[in-house]
Structure 1
Amino acid sequence: MYDWANSAYLLVISSTLFPIYFNGVTRAAFESETVVFFGSEITNTVLYSYAVAAAFLIVAFISPWLSGMADYGGKKKFFLKLFTYLGAVSTAGLYWFEGSNIEYGIVCSILAGVGYSGSLVFYNSYLPEITTESEYDKLSAKGYAYGYIGSVLLLLISFAMIIMHKSLGFEAESEVVRLSFLLVGLWWFGFAQYSFFYLPDNKDRLKKTDNLFLKGVKELKIVFQSLKNLRAMKVYLLAFFFYSAGVQTVMHLAAIFGEKELRLEASKLIVTITIIQLVAIAGAYMFAAISKKYNNGISILSMLIIWIGICGYAYVLQTEYQFYGLAVVVGLVMGGIQSMSRSTFSKLIPDNTIDNTSYFSFYDVVEKLSIVVGTFSFGFIEQWTGSMRNSTIALMLFFVVGVGLLLYSRIHKTSQTSYV
């Protein structure tokens, strides 16, 4: 249910309405795609790419300390709530972003991103605590499926409001779009309460006399030392870094690519992203089934080969119908790659581990840094070459390196019960 709650942010804010809205209102406010941000001129899409990178860089820096403290101090749920509320309030705050106040909009979007990605450090670490290893793949896929359904539902509600904005008493579509940002914040805040009620507190480990910051450092040191003896986990994390850079960049910047390179209307982009989300539900379950029949390595490798093809096709596509077709394929592998990556890492954690959060902190830091590298590279290459299409080639290289490292890890030749 937390996937149901927070995925509305990922879809409506990160992937569809906000990027499209951001492009439109900043272009109108500055009468150009070049905007002025704290006195400096920069292309609006490049600025947005850098803002996404900044949010994840902040989380990558602070989450290891927080996760160590959460493990030792029994504050996992506390930090999950803290980041959730930061993200939900900041998302709702985007209601007051109108284009000319671009600094305010970027700050709110960065804080919302920090809240979203920061909460996942603690949320993901609950997986080994609430089910058995044999159910990791199934439950991880179910979580993503719930997220896709919930987020699509809210997106469709927002889309309907945009279409009927005059009937609802709004003069401009932008007013309803801003209202959608407020709804996402409330949705995230409200549905998260279900998870907060049922997830365990882990307060039995709390020692009030301890310096939790120092204990957090100690936890991280222990995990880092254990990685030296876990070859499969080390290589897998490196592979995950590269291919996640590609996956997450596509997720966060696909709408901007369609709007700028193909000049697709907002309504068509919303329909496209909705298709991706719906197909992703089937993809999550399909690749979970492949993993069950073979293993996680085979499942992930097959998806990465498809991702390489996606990037190559994105470089040459010209029409909106080609974009729609590509969206179907993206959706198929997007759901699978996310759920399988999370469950695969769960299987690589040693069986006698108590402090799952610290291990998942490394996983999440790797993911955050990969997003920083991916989105920054995408924006930098566009700024350098003047075309987003060239950025898709960089994403392809990320996937190629990920395939090579995953093959080197040999987890595709290892039984599900002997990863560690």
Structure 2
Amino acid sequence: MAHYQYKPKVIKAWAFYDWANSVYSLVISTAIFPIYYNSVTTVNGSDQIEFLGATFTNTSLYSYALSTSFFLVALMSPLLSGVADFSGRKKSFLRRFCYVGAISCAGLFFFDDVDMIWLALLASILASVGFWGSQVFYNAYLPEIAPRRLQDKVSARGYSLGYLGSSLLLILCLALIEGHSFIGLEKSFATRLSFLLVGAWWALFAQITFRNLPEPVERKSIKWRTLTNGYRELRKFWIQLKKLGVLRKYLVAFFFFSMGVQTVILLASVFGQKALGLSTLQLISTILIIQFLGILGAVLFSKISEKIGNFKGLVLAIIIWLGICGAAFLLQRSDPNVAIKFYMLGGTVGLVMGGIQSLARSTYSKMLPEKGEHTTYFSFFDVTEKMAIVLGTFAYGFIEQMTGDMHYSALTLGVFFLLALLAMFYLKSSERISM
């Protein structure tokens, strides 16, 4: 594994990729696109869609598309991380996935009618693959560019930059959409134009990262045997997990709370629009609250981890998430104060969203052995997260499809957090936790 000398310029470049690619997470996967998708695919008050010979509710079909994208990433990331480790082309693969994601976001511009549902789903899947595929290589840089004592702060710095950058673009897109008549555009066109802006922002700002991140001078050519190296490394790692008790038990907890966290991030705006009847402006305002408090939350939980340790910090975050899911289940469209309560709930989500993500990444990084290819370790971490999201988004869509009520889907997410909490307490009771 390559270790690079600690350089502030490299740290800034690494963290700036969060600024570049987080616009996908916010504008495409969380805020504007899910709302736009739901409005385009709701025809004459009906949310039923015929697709591939079957009938789906529009939001459950979207959930299944997200599940598909994460399943593809889970299958691909071991292969690609093995290739990157062997060939020394970590930055090259980061760049390629970045461009796949950015171009796919821009491609959503052409989704202007329910008949183009295939394009919406395909571009959504490819954009998700591009984003999450690049994260495998991005995360693997962390233990190589920052000493262990600084990894919490560096990780939080990345998330904070991501929240700030994506929030700025979301505000610009919101101004474009809400002020569409002032500049002589149709609202649909202004909304689709925001997807082009996401693609351009992601690709252009990523150049700062690509220009300054290090890469080994030696670049080996890729051979056929290399293509399965990542899977072989994962198999070795799976066997090693029997000896790495703390890491194995932590990954179980990480699996369960990732099912909840990532599903909330991906489908919260759809829940607010469809289950609670909130307007686009109310939903995006809530998401902006989440983003700006997310900046504070990432830093806050970094400070909390310094005071009480990573383990207690994560337990605190999981308990708060459990309460969020319970509160979401109790929210009703008929409540005259539903918008205010949704804002308050969004603020709470913001405080713990960045905190739990940042702590989850840095806690795992601290648990890794000093020696070994960290890309392989983070590949397993990412595969675990992606499979959690596959099951989380599928369960969310399936329960809505069966019950016709998203409130029960939200309640299910609470069960995932409860299981994560039990896994964390089992980890504490069976292992000595010093973090």
Q: TM-score range by the shorter chain?
A: over 0.9
AA aligned to 1:18 is: F
1:365 and 2:365 correspond: no
User: RMSD across aligned C-alpha pairs, in angstroms?
Assistant: 1.5
Deviation of the 1:31 alpha carbon: 5.4
Residue in 2 aligned with 1:266?
Answer: 280
Task: Report matched runs for 1:338-357 at 5 Å.
Answer: 338-353=357-372, 355-357=373-375
Query: Match for residue 33 of structure 1?
Result: 47
Counterparts in 2 of 1:386 and 1:194: CA distance versus 1, 3 Å? same
Q: Secondary structure at the match of 2:277?
A: coil
2:101 paired residue number: 87
Q: Tell me which residue corresponds to 2:151.
A: 136
Mapped pair 1:328 → 2:342: no
Partner of 1:169: 184
C-alpha offsets along residues 81-100 of structure 1, whole Å, 9 cap, x if unaligned? 11111110001000000132
The letter for the 1-side match of 2:380 is F
Is 1:226 matched with 2:244? no
2:298 matches 1:284: yes
Which residue in 1 is equivalent to 2:424?
406
Deviation at 1:210, TM superposition (A): 7.5
SS of the residue 1:262 aligns to: coil
The answer as to 2:399 corresponding to 1:381 is yes
Cα offset for 1:27? Answer: 1.0
Distance of aligned partners of 1:207 and 1:107 in 2 relative to their CA distance in 1, 3 Å threshold: closer
Give the secondary structure class of the aligned counterpart of 2:370. coil
Distance 1:389 1:211 in 2: 48
8 Å contact 2:287–2:346 — kept in the other structure? yes
SS of structure 2 residue aligned to 1:15:
coil
Partners in 2 of 1:329 and 1:345 — Cα distance?
A: 24
**Distance 1:413-1:313 versus aligned 2 partners, 3 A rule:** farther
TM-score if structure 1 supplies the norm length?
A: 0.95
2:38 corresponds to: 23
Between the two proteins, the alignment pairs up a number of residues equal to 413
Distance 1:179 1:320, change over 3 A: same
Structure 1 239/203 Cα, relative in aligned 2: closer, same or farther at 3 Å? Answer: farther
Letter in 1 for 2:370: D
Aligned AA (1:349): L
> Offset at 1:137?
0.4
Q: 1:187 aligns with which of 181, 186, 201?
A: 201
5+ long unaligned stretches in structure 1: none
**2:82 corresponds to which residue?**
68
1:286-334 CA-to-partner distances (Å, cap 9, x unmatched) read: 1111101121001000010011111111101131111111111111100
Structure-2 change in CA distance of 1:380 and 1:208 (3 Å): closer
Point out the more displaced range, 159-168 or 283-292: 159-168
Give the Cα–Cα distance (whole angstroms) in 1 for the partners of residues 29 and 299 of structure 2: 24
Q: 1:163 to 1:406 in 2, by over 3 A?
A: same
Structure 1 contact 72–219 (Cα < 8 Å) conserved: no
Q: CA deviation at 1:366?
A: 0.5
Distance 1:259 1:208, change over 3 A: closer
Instruction: Report the residue type matching 1:326 in the other structure.
Output: L
Structure 1 residue matching 2:56: 3-state secondary structure: strand
Residues 194 and 179 (structure 1), Cα distance of their counterparts in 2 relative to 1, 3 Å cut: same
**C-alpha distance in 2 between matches for 1:214 and 1:382:** 38
Cross-structure match for 1:415: 434
Secondary structure (helix, strand or coil) at the match of 1:201 reads coil
TM-score with structure 2 setting the length? 0.92
CA distance, structure 2, for counterparts of residue 197 and residue 188 of structure 1: 15
Deviations 1:366-395 (A, max 9, x none): 000111111100010011111000111111
The separation in 2 between residues aligned to 1:18 and 1:177, in whole angstroms, is 8
Look up the equivalent residue of 2:269 and give its one-letter code: A
* Residues 212-262 of structure 1 deviation map (CA, whole Å, 9 limit, x = unaligned): 214334433332332221111111111100011000000000000000011
Kept after mapping to 2: 8 A contact 1:55/1:110: yes
How many Å apart are 1:175 and its aligned residue? 0.6
Does the 8 Å CA contact 1:73/1:203 hold for their aligned counterparts?
Answer: no
Partner of 2:4: none
1:219 aligned partner, one-letter code: E
Q: Which runs of 5+ in 2 are unaligned?
A: 1-15, 333-337
